[in-house]
Amino acid sequence: MKKFRFIPTSIFFGLIVVSSCHRDNLQKPNPPTDSVSIFGTMDSSLLIKSITYSNADSSTTLYFFYDTAHRKIIVSLQPVLTVGGDYSDGQEFSYDLFGMLIHITGKFSAENDGYFSSADYVYDDQHVLKSANTTLFGGLNYSASYTKTAVAGGYLLSELYASPGNNGYTDSNYSAALINDSGRLAANYTIYNTTAEGDLYNTSPNGDTYFYYSDSSVYDAAGNLSKRLQTYPPNTLKPDSLVSFEEYNFTVRDTKGDQLHNLGRILFNGIGDLPFSIIDFFAGELSPLGEDGMQFDKYPALQTTVIVADSTGIFNTTLHFSTPAVYDDKSRLIKYHNFAHFSPYVGYDLSISYYK
């Protein structure tokens, strides 16, 4: 999971994740910023113009510009006022005719070889991800392919990564995500196989050791994310010593204020529910898997219970958070007090402005 930082390091681009520009040759006039709809999904009065993240020590604002003619959204640290307007730090999201995210490009005033500069996504004819590719500013490239398998209640999307071990065996990571009939993540798991010689974790005669981690999501009748469950081996020397626990329980959610939820769904359409490592860099905080995204999936969580790990890595400490929401006279979310999902769990505020 991605963590929140001031300045954000994982919200859409976080000054860490970026990409390159897909150009569409559409010969039609550029619409005004507050056009009636964006990708056919959002009324202009619901278009988020900016989100300001602030705590006692700092404040950072993300600005959103919607270029409907070219099917792009720019998320930047500087306001973009017109189509083709310039900015020095941000990301440009490009979409196909179906509104699926196909490309991300990034631009930063201070580039770093460890920052991702581009991402590309390819889908099948059912709009299910087939492959992903990312590139760092230093030129290093990562690619992955995904296999879709139909199962009862949805489909399984999986990835197998394998590399030769130094002892004649093969190391591998197998990750899979179960997507339900509603197109939402129901469960995901990863099995790690390591074979390194001399590794204390290797307990099998042939040197193989398997670690299993999984998460599952529970939704209520209104479509809200209700719970996130996790299974993991608390003792890495005993990979079959699995423990399951309720990591997140969103005990109270509001019945309005889905603007951030909708924005996250549009921004990361096609990849937001997929917990694969190559995608995790780009599916930002407002994606369904992001820490903020969980709070706003579907309506804002007003009370949340979280189980966190102690100093030995055992998840045994329960924390309770109250996260109030504020609305304007149009029932739009304009302010929210969240909590950081990592120690010391310091609270922070989100302030939201709209185009109309």
**Do residues 109 and 88 lie in contact, with contact meaning Cβ atoms separated by under 8 Å?**
yes
What is the Cβ-side half-sphere exposure of residue 321, based on CA atoms within 13 angstroms?
29
Q: What is the pLDDT of residue 169?
A: 65
Residue type, 173: N
Q: What is the 3-state secondary structure of the chain?
A: CCCCCCCCCCCCCCCCECCCCCCCCCCCCCCCCCCCEECCCEEHHHCEEEEEEECCCCEEEEEEEEECCCCEEEEECCCCCCCCCCCCCEEEEEECCCCCEEEEEEECCCCCCCCEEEEEEEECCCCCEEEEEEEECCCCEEEEECEEEEECCEEEEEEEEEEECCCCCEEEEEEEEEEECCCCEEEEEEEEEECCCCCCCCCCCCCCEEEEEEEEEEECCCCCEEEEEEEECCCCCCCCCCEEEEEEEEEEECCCCCHHHHHHHHHCCCCCCCCCHHHHCCCCCCCCCCHHHHHCCCCCEEEEEEEEECCCCCEEEEEEEECCEEECCCCCEEEEEEECCCCCCCEEEEEEEECC
Question: Is pLDDT of 14 > 60?
Answer: no
* Confidence class for position 192, pLDDT limits 50, 70, 90: confident
Say how far residue 321 (Cα) sits from the centre of its chain: 22
Distance CA 275, CA 214 (A): 11
* Confidence class for position 280, pLDDT limits 50, 70, 90: confident
Share of the chain above pLDDT 70, in %: 81
Q: What is the mean pLDDT of the chain?
A: 83
* Confidence class for position 5, pLDDT limits 50, 70, 90: very low
Share of the chain above pLDDT 90, in %: 56
Q: What is the pLDDT of residue 51?
A: 97
Q: What is the pLDDT of residues 65-111, one digit of tens each?
A: 999 889 999 999 999 988 888 899 999 999 999 999 999 998 888 87
Q: How far apart are the first and last CA of the chain?
A: 33
Q: What is the pLDDT of residue 18?
A: 28
Mean pLDDT of 189-207: 68
Question: Is pLDDT of 53 > 60?
Answer: yes
Which carries the bigger pLDDT value, residue 36 or residue 350? 350
Q: What is the pLDDT of residue 9?
A: 35
Question: Is pLDDT of 129 > 70?
Answer: yes
Mean pLDDT of 237-246: 83
Closest of 248, 252, 250 to residue 315, by C-alpha:
248
Question: Is pLDDT of 36 > 90?
Answer: no
Distance CA 185, CA 288 (A): 9
Q: What is the pLDDT of residues 290-349, one digit of tens each?
A: 889 999 999 999 999 999 988 888 899 999 999 999 999 999 999 999 999 888 899 999
Range from 14-28, 37-51, 65-79, 92-106 carrying the lowest mean pLDDT: 14-28
Which carries the bigger pLDDT value, residue 108 or residue 62? 62
Q: What is the pLDDT of residue 7?
A: 35
- pTM comes to 0.85
Q: What is the pLDDT of residue 25?
A: 30
Q: What is the pLDDT of residue 207?
A: 60
Q: What is the pLDDT of residue 352?
A: 97
Q: What is the pLDDT of residues 200-229, one digit of tens each?
A: 556 565 666 778 899 999 999 999 999 999
